[in-house]
Amino acid sequence: MQLIQCQSKDDAVKKVAGILFDYISDSTKKVFGLATGRTMEPVYAELIRLIKESGADLTGKSFFMLDEYYGLPDNHESSFKFYIKTHFQNPLGLKDEQIFFPPVHLDNAGEKYEEDIRRMGGVDLQLLGIGQNGHIGFNEPGSRKNSLTRRVDLTPETIEANREQFVGDIIPVDALSMGIGTILRAKSLVMLATGKSKADVIQFLVNNKDDPSCPASFLKDHNHFLLVLDPEAASKIS
Ligand code: GLP
């Protein structure tokens, strides 16, 4: 794992957006995995700025979502589909056929998604955030290292962390998530963590490997795994 400690949250966001932009501008890179969450909102804003400023052409590029909740109406404002349409697809005017959302409406959703990823040639660059409990996508603690895209139960702490987003609504309790094995098949991984709330999990991630209590630690052996941190997320590592 390569680690970059940036001097500010803005520098960390710009670093990750710049890496994504370099990959998207590379004609040999076609398939990208997209993460959601609060961490990524400024990353997409900066990436869109870079793309629009350069006039980069995204024709032929495909984007796969890491995860999606079960049980939400398609256009629910807290669905990850709505998130990516709002923060990425619509501002760039990307076609629907360029964006792959976990098909939560299908019975064989996991197998279908894995087949789509294979059919598109595999993920060149996977963007990742990290949950406070070390989850990646919705691979919660206890997820297997060789897990693939499947329905997963959300932990009580993840459900609790989501409470504010689902005010007055049913809070999802399960999701369709790329597996850890799926993520490990990507050619490159870039993880961004910012803010004090991630300091503990980053300290654990940096000091542990292949620990089921922190699914992100299964990524340590990947030969192209870059972890980018702001000072707050890095505040508990030497
Ligand atoms: C969410 C998503 C993850 C995301 C993580 C952190 O539940 N399933 O893909 O990385 O939790 O989210 P945030 O960036 O809002 O802290």
Which among 111, 124, 112, 94 is positioned nearest to 31, based on CA atoms?
A: 124
Domains and CATH numbers, the chain: 2-219 (3.40.50.1360)
Best mutation site among 9, 36, 43, 196 for ligand 1 pocket (most ligand atoms within 8 Å of CB): 36
Residue 31 class from Cβ within 10 Å (0-12 exposed, 13-18 middle, 19+ buried)? buried
Ligand 1 pocket, Cβ-based, cut-off 6 angstroms: 35-39, 66-67, 129-131, 137-138
Could you tell me if 233 and 132 are in contact, meaning their C-beta atoms sit under 8 angstroms apart? no
- Spell out the residues 6+ positions from residue 83 whose beta carbon is closer than 8 angstroms to its own: 36
Residue to mutate, 66, 126, 135, ligand 1, most ligand atoms under 8 Å from C-beta? 135
* pTM for the full predicted model: 0.96
Q: pLDDT per residue over 130-188, tens digit each?
A: 999 999 999 999 999 999 999 999 999 889 888 888 877 889 999 999 999 999 999 99
What lies within 8 Å, CB to CB, of 207 at 6+ separation is 237
* Rg from Cα positions in the chain: 17
Instruction: Please determine, for residue 195, whether its predicted confidence score (pLDDT) is greater than 80.
Output: yes
Q: What is the pLDDT of residues 66-100, one digit of tens each?
A: 999 999 987 899 999 999 999 999 999 999 999 99
CB atoms within 10 A of CB 92: 17
Name the 3-class secondary structure at 185: coil
